[in-house]
Amino acid sequence: MGAQDRIAKSSIKVKLTKSFSIAILIPSLVAAAVGVLMIREQIYEQAQAQVTSDLESAKEIYQNYLERLKDSLRIHATRMIVYGALEKNDPGGAFPREMERIRKAEKLDVLTLTDTSGNVFYRTCNPIFRGDSQTRDPFVKYVLQNKEPVSSTDIVAPEELLKESRGLADKASMEIKFTPKAGPPSRTHLDSGMMLKGAAPVFTADNRFVGVLMGGVLLNRNYDIVDKIRKTVFKLESYEGQQVGTATIFQDDVRISTNVQNEEGDRAIQTRVSAEVAQAVLKGGNTWRSRAFVVNDWYIAAYEPVRNLVGDTIGMLYVGSLERPYQDMLWKNLYVFLGIILLAVASISVVAIRVANHISQPIRAMADAAKKISEGDYSQKVEVSSETEIGFLANNFNSMVSELARAHQELRDWGETLERKVEQRTAELKAMQAHLIQSEKLAGVGKLAAGVAHEINNPLTCVLTNSSLMLSDLPPNHPQREDLQTIVDETLRCRKIVKGLLDFARQTKPQKQPLDLNKVAEDVILLVKNQASFQSIAIRTELDSKLPAVLADADQMRQVVLNIILNAADAMSQGGSLSIRSCYDSKTKEAMLKISDTGPGIPEEIQNKLFEPFFTTKKTGTGLGLAIAYGIMERHKGKLKVESSPGRGTTVSVILSTEVKTADD
């Protein structure tokens, strides 16, 4: 993994985005979880409330049936045809027909008239069977005692049903089917029936109590009430082909009337309620509300106990609303809710990424700039886009970069200066070395010359003396006179060379005294101006009268100036002008004599050889003039400077410091 990748993975941007994401995700997940629970709770609460109100409506409908039964019995009991038959103790005539008409009109399964002793006077469905006592029937008993109408639900024994008809007994009779969640079955068969029952006192026109009119509707396999509930309460609503609302009447824990359908699409009678509900409602006598798995689907259900006349729980009334619509509504709500959360997370994430970018981008730019700076590019600048801490950092970064650039430039300049200084110093050293070589050369030549000169001087004097004597002895026209003259001249020349060598070699320590260089110049001019070689030369002087004195050996300095002036004269053998100037340089504190001629100048290629001993371009020159002068100036710690431009002339400067030197004085 490259450094770049590592940076990318651990970059501020990634870290910030991660932190933001965690900060967003955790509350979002909590919000989602809480939201889901709340929505679920609310939807179930709403469903429960709905079912509770549905149950109330169902109870109302059930109660209405009972009230209507009671009312119709009360009304029919006051009719003349009813009490007339009892009064006359004659169930014949139009009476049976009327009873049958009433029974059918009121949709009754049982319509029986008893006398005041509770014995059956007329059984509409089975007129032949009469005279049996109904005093044990709670409704008949109640009316006999209270003389007022009554209605309620009741369990009717199979023998009582048989008294009416076999058909009625068969209608009530049921095989109980196995139901998974129900408790252990206590029986396999249901013989008795559950009835809406009522009874009313029969009064004559003169208000005499003559009997009891008793009626009943068997609820087993009778779907009027449950279908009415579904129609009225649930408006026959259906959801994806399945009915939403269902109602059931239980006899004890067995479904005897229902519109819940089984898998085959038949009414799911003969099945049992779950043990849990049976326990709560039948045993506990309480209303029960919850989701319940009814036959083959989940319902939001409510169960209400159904009681008989004396208040014993004998069955249940159930209403249930299919859970699926609520479930789907829950999911729909959840999808919307989660969608909103997702949208919020997404938009917050976008903002988070932008913020992270905003923070990391300038830092990234600074890192990039720092990298380029480390590679030597000091022109880097980062953009200061905000007035936040990061903007402040960018600002400081920029000033740091310019400070760095300045320091770097300074360092480079300093390096260059150093280089220049080294070069200069090297040049100086080279010059010094050359100077040293020159001095050593001079010293070597000097020693050699001194020995040679000393040895040659005596024989030379002898030759010169003898040849001079011989010459003076010869008559003027003697043919050998010319040769002898040549011997004398050449010997003289030899002596000159020897003298020069001795002068050069002597190198005596200068006797330094305060000396006026003007005086030196004047002495030398006086010495030479009458000589033949100066006759065609104009001598000009320009001497500074305020020239400070120098410490020097007067003889040696004269020798220097003389040698220079003689060279100038040699250079101007065809005539010219010699100018001698003196001046003082207050800056360097040096006094100098500048001797200029208008001769041909010195060719450039020989300018560096002038001070070498025996270097000459002249026929009769020794090449020692400037070498001697140089040696003298050196011993005076002075300088000898030759400036010459070929064709225009030469200026030789004799320079001495006016500062008192103590080193080797």
Binding residues for ligand ATP (CB under 6 A):
500, 563, 567-568, 570-571, 597, 599, 602, 610, 615-618, 621-627, 650
- Contact status, residue 353 vs residue 370, Cβ threshold 8 Å: no
Tell me how far apart the alpha carbons of residues 597 and 573 are, in angstroms, rounded to a whole number: 11
Q: Which is nearer to ligand ATP, 51 or 624 (CB)?
A: 624
Q: Which residue is nearest to Mg ion (CB)?
A: 625
Tell me how far apart the alpha carbons of residues 581 and 592 are, in angstroms, rounded to a whole number: 8
Shortest spacing between CB 459 and ligand ATP, in angstroms: 22
Shortest spacing between CB 630 and ligand ATP, in angstroms: 9
By CB under 5 A, what part of segment 562-621 binds Mg ion? 567
500: contact with Mg ion by CB under 5 A:
no
* Number of residues in the chain: 665
Tell me how far apart the alpha carbons of residues 164 and 461 are, in angstroms, rounded to a whole number: 198
Q: Which residue is nearest to ligand ATP (CB)?
A: 625
Q: Which partner in ligand ATP, Mg ion, none is near 622 (CB below 5 to 8 A by kind)?
A: ligand ATP
Shortest spacing between CB 430 and ligand ATP, in angstroms: 23
Q: Which is nearer to ligand ATP, 401 or 497 (CB)?
A: 497
> 277, 247, 278, 242: which is closest to 260 by C-alpha?
247
Q: How far is CA 606 from the centre of its chain?
A: 78
Please state whether beta strands 576-585 and 639-645 pair in parallel, antiparallel, or not at all (unpaired).
unpaired
Beta strands in 10-56 (DSSP E): none
Q: Which partner in Mg ion, ligand ATP, none is near 598 (CB below 5 to 8 A by kind)?
A: none
Shortest spacing between CB 635 and ligand ATP, in angstroms: 17
Shortest spacing between CB 638 and ligand ATP, in angstroms: 17
Q: Which partner in ligand ATP, Mg ion, none is near 306 (CB below 5 to 8 A by kind)?
A: none
Q: Which is nearer to Mg ion, 260 or 629 (CB)?
A: 629
Shortest spacing between CB 624 and Mg ion, in angstroms: 8
- Contact status, residue 211 vs residue 199, Cβ threshold 8 Å: no
Q: Which is nearer to ligand ATP, 313 or 616 (CB)?
A: 616
Residue in 201, 625, 631, 649 binding Mg ion, rule: CB under 5 A: 625
- Contact status, residue 320 vs residue 83, Cβ threshold 8 Å: no
Q: Which is nearer to Mg ion, 202 or 624 (CB)?
A: 624
Q: Which is nearer to ligand ATP, 258 or 651 (CB)?
A: 651
Please state whether beta strands 313-322 and 245-251 pair in parallel, antiparallel, or not at all (unpaired).
antiparallel
Tell me how far apart the alpha carbons of residues 542 and 517 are, in angstroms, rounded to a whole number: 12
Shortest spacing between CB 527 and ligand ATP, in angstroms: 16
- The site for Mg ion, by CB under 5 A, has a size of 2
Distances in Å between the alpha carbon of 275 and those of 184, 186, 374? 8, 12, 84
> Token pair for residue 67?
């009230």
Q: Which partner in ligand ATP, Mg ion, none is near 617 (CB below 5 to 8 A by kind)?
A: ligand ATP
- Contact status, residue 562 vs residue 632, Cβ threshold 8 Å: no
Q: Which is nearer to ligand ATP, 11 or 616 (CB)?
A: 616
Instruction: Convert 544-568 to b/e letters by CB count within 10 Å (16 or more is b).
Output: eeebeebbbbbebbbbbbbbbbbbb
Shortest spacing between CB 572 and ligand ATP, in angstroms: 8
- Contact status, residue 110 vs residue 129, Cβ threshold 8 Å: no
Q: Which is nearer to ligand ATP, 183 or 623 (CB)?
A: 623
Binding site for Mg ion (CB under 5 A): 567, 625
